Amino acid sequence: MNINTVIDAVVERDPTIVSVVGAGISKASGMPTFRGEDGLWNNYRAEELATPSAFSKDPKLVWEWYRARMRILLEAEPNPAHYSLTKLEEENISIGIITQNVDGLHEIAGSKKIVEIHGRIRYARCVNCDNIERWDSSTKAQKDIALPYCHKCEINLLRPDVVWFGEPLDPQSWQQATELTMQSNVMLVIGTSGVVVPVSTLPIYAKQNNSIVIEFNIEQTPISGYCDYSLLGPCEETLPEFTEILLEKMK
């Protein structure tokens, strides 16, 4: 697919862009996939640890695993794909990012309107009260060898502020995601195979809303059939190229 053909179609729309983002965008930032290549944790699968039942059975084990992930995360930095989305927002062409990633790299790249539908690994929340605390290498939750307790109610455990396997999405985040989809006329689907429900329904809503849907992925995916265009290749290369030409053509 010639990138200029895609961009001409976008320019013709006077675009209002929303992006749906998955793990593929963070690969170039050194984020390991959920499968984790960290030797110590090779014997565990994410589906066994990132669950409410694993946490109630052995919260210490789950927290140790998240701390290991956090140590890797702290080394990661946004890559040109993240910065491209920030640029589109600064130029008032993008109205939001709907991300499945919990790594917080969009925020570090300077993006403002971000819907983190799977939560945020840099935050912890109380299992009982409404308290949410930031936690990273400098905070108590990260340093503690024992289990981190809520600093508000002081009797309940903190848990990572992410959506675990088997848990529903936060209804407010999901509403924001669908609203952004309806308010836009171009959807970029970046680094996600789109097979995870309900995120996979957003490109379908976008199509029903008569939006142009453009996929950025290393290879064809199960949703390629829904997309008007697929730009194949590493998104840290294709997205900056797309953004640069688009902004040039919209001058």
Smallest distance, Å, CB 58 to Zn ion?
20
**Total binding residues toward Zn ion, as defined by CB under 5 A:** 7
Tokens for 54, please give them.
């694993």
154: left (phi over 0), alpha (psi -120 to 50) or beta: left
Smallest distance, Å, CB 134 to Zn ion?
15
DSSP structure string for 86-138 = HHHHHTT-EEEEEE---S-HHHHTT---EEETTEEEEEEEESSSS-EEE-STT
* Identity of the residue, 44 or 149, whose beta carbon is nearer to Zn ion in the bound complex: 149
* Identity of the residue, 63 or 216, whose beta carbon is nearer to Zn ion in the bound complex: 63
Laid out side by side, the sheet with 119-126 consists of 132-134, 119-126, 158-162
Q: Return the SS3 of 14.
A: coil
Please tell me which residue in 82, 106, 118, 151 is annotated as part of the active site. Answer: 118
Helix axes of 235-249 and 3-12: crossing angle, nearest 10 degrees: 50
Beta strands at 114-116 and 94-99: parallel, antiparallel or unpaired: parallel
* Identity of the residue, 132 or 204, whose beta carbon is nearer to Zn ion in the bound complex: 132
Q: Is residue 118 annotated as part of the catalytic site, yes or no? A: yes
Q: Return the SS3 of 205.
A: helix
Smallest distance, Å, CB 198 to Zn ion?
29
DSSP assignment, residue 149?
B
By CB under 5 A, the residues from 124 to 183 that bind Zn ion are 126, 129, 131, 150, 152-153, 156
* Identity of the residue, 68 or 127, whose beta carbon is nearer to Zn ion in the bound complex: 127
H-state helical runs in the chain = 3-12, 46-49, 52-57, 59-73, 80-90, 105-108, 140-143, 171-183, 202-208, 235-249
* Identity of the residue, 73 or 150, whose beta carbon is nearer to Zn ion in the bound complex: 150
Smallest distance, Å, CB 152 to Zn ion?
5
**39 to 1, 35, 48, 212, 251: CA distances (angstroms):** 40, 11, 16, 42, 50
Smallest distance, Å, CB 161 to Zn ion?
13
Instruction: Draw the binding track, 81-120, toward Zn ion (x: CB under 5 A; -: no contact).
Output: ----------------------------------------
Catalytic (active-site) positions: 118
Q: Which residues of the shown chain bind Zn ion in the complex (CB under 5 A)?
A: 126, 129, 131, 150, 152-153, 156
